[in-house]
Amino acid sequence: MSMIRNGLMALMVGAVVAAVAARAADVAKPQPKDGDKGQITGTIEKIVKQQVTVKSDDATIILWPYYKGKGFDHETMEQIEKLKVGDKVTATWTFKEHYRIDSIAKVEQPQK
């Protein structure tokens, strides 16, 4: 019984160490400044209301449409509605409080 308990304890400690290391790596990444621009090509991991989470080989970012007047940019919201989880996309963004979507489009996958 004690061997099982020791094994479980070692497993839990390993999981905690791995989680702390992963969080430390996230914190070490430089945060963008307002006005920074960029592009990401990756796979949509999640779409929640107006937020689109895109994961590339190098990064995972949450993209938001611009807020205009009384709501989010209508054209961008229409583009988001055409996308689904698992789609490969290319998005250009400008950082203004969040990663704001300048453009987002599905990347056509070659036929196999």
For 40-95, write each residue's pLDDT tens digit. Answer: 999 999 999 889 999 999 999 999 999 988 899 999 999 999 999 999 999 999 99
User: Helix or strand or coil: residue 15?
Assistant: helix
**Angstrom distances, CA of residue 102 to CA of 31, 36, 65, 88:** 19, 12, 8, 17
Of all residues in the chain, the percent with pLDDT exceeding 70 is: 72
Confidence of residue 24 (pLDDT cuts 50, 70, 90): very low
**Whole-number mean pLDDT of the chain?**
83
pTM comes to 0.69
pLDDT at 17 exceeding the cut of 60: no
Question: Is the CB of residue 107 less than 8 Å from the CB of residue 90?
Answer: yes
